[in-house]
Amino acid sequence: MGNVINAVLFVCLGNICRSPTAHAVFRSKVKSLNLPISYDSAGTASYHIGATPDKRSAQHGKKRGYDFSELYARAVSTEDFETFDLILAMDKSNYDDLMNECPEHFQHKIHLFLDFAENYPDHQEVPDPYYGGEEGFELVLDLVEDACNGLINKIK
């Protein structure tokens, strides 16, 4: 990751839990630091196109001060591989899906999001909280906040 990072894409399966959480957290941190970085989130599947983030993700994020407004699910597009400097998958399955879709000359842009985490060495993936309880959404926020901090430290 030696290149300048101007645009980051966060990717999970449906773009309603993990990647919008990363989007909201990263947006908050980037704005508070006044960094000139663009960002977005998307899903590798098209189940929820146009949907707002999962209510539980938004509720838990809001408790920590994050804004989930103006976020709508979309699927990863071919243009994303060219547009974004860094494409961060929430788990290995999404990473594999991205690598399969991505032209070879852009594959260096794709990484696991938790590669940037500083305080969770035992976690390689952001677990999908969709079918679990409230604690899953809190863990996602903990992991996402940590990885966003690590990512910003690398970018700066």
Provide the annotated active-site residues: 12, 18, 128
Distance CA 152, CA 37 (A): 10
Evaluate whether 91 touches 125 at the Cβ level (below 8 Å): yes
Amino acid at the residue 141: L
Report phi then psi at 10, rounded to 5. -100, 130
Q: Where are the beta strands (DSSP E) in the chain?
A: 7-12, 38-43, 86-89, 110-112
